[in-house]
Amino acid sequence: MTSSRVASELASILVPIGVVGAVLAALCALIAGIAIMRGAAGLAGGAVGLWIPSAMLSSTASFANQWTPLLISGAALVAMLVIGAVGRGIVNTGEPAREAARAARVQALIDAPDPVVVPRGTTVTPSTGSQPALAG
């Protein structure tokens, strides 16, 4: 077998593996970006942790001189980390207004008068403010 034939056979195996790795890496990068935007650090770390072996899997296509899957997986992670950070910044700018509204609702609940519960079948008579005399 000639070396070009061996290289062709390897490329037919390694390039699809690299493409699958790039797709998995892009999905992990997307999850990492969304997790950063929502402030879920554990999920973001897990997604980046899964991105690493996926990117390594995408590097198998480089043995056949196909660098596109590896470049796509790297660019996807960088893009999603930047988009996630910008999105988190936008979410954080609205947080003081939401916190003030939350505090106002809590204060309104605290200041509200306690409800008077009257048992069924009884009538409420207005009080004159004086106590009745004790029968003695």
pLDDT for 120: 76
Tell whether 134 is covered by a domain. no
Region 90-95: mean pLDDT is 85
- Average of pLDDT values for 111-118? 75
Q: Is residue 136 part of a domain?
A: no
pLDDT digit string (tens) for 46-66? Answer: 999 999 999 999 999 988 888
Q: What angle do CA 76, 32, 21 make, to 5 degrees?
A: 50
The answer to the question of residue 113 being in a domain is no
| Residue 35 in tokens | 């997790």
- d(Cα 104, Cα 37) in Å, to the nearest integer? 26
Number of domains in the chain: 1
Determine, yes or no, domain membership for 29: yes
Distance CA 54, CA 18 (A): 9
- List strand residue ranges (DSSP E) for 14-82, in order: none
Above 90 in pLDDT, residue 19?
yes
pTM, to two decimals: 0.67
Reply yes or no on whether the pLDDT at 136 is more than 80: no
Lowest mean pLDDT among 57-71, 76-90, 111-125: 111-125
> Does 73 map to a domain?
yes
Contact 35, 44 (CB under 8 A): yes
Classify residue 79: in a domain, yes or no: yes
Mean pLDDT in residue range 114-134:
67
Asked whether residue 59 is domain-assigned, the answer is yes
Q: Could you tell me the residue range of the domain that residue 77 belongs to?
A: 10-95
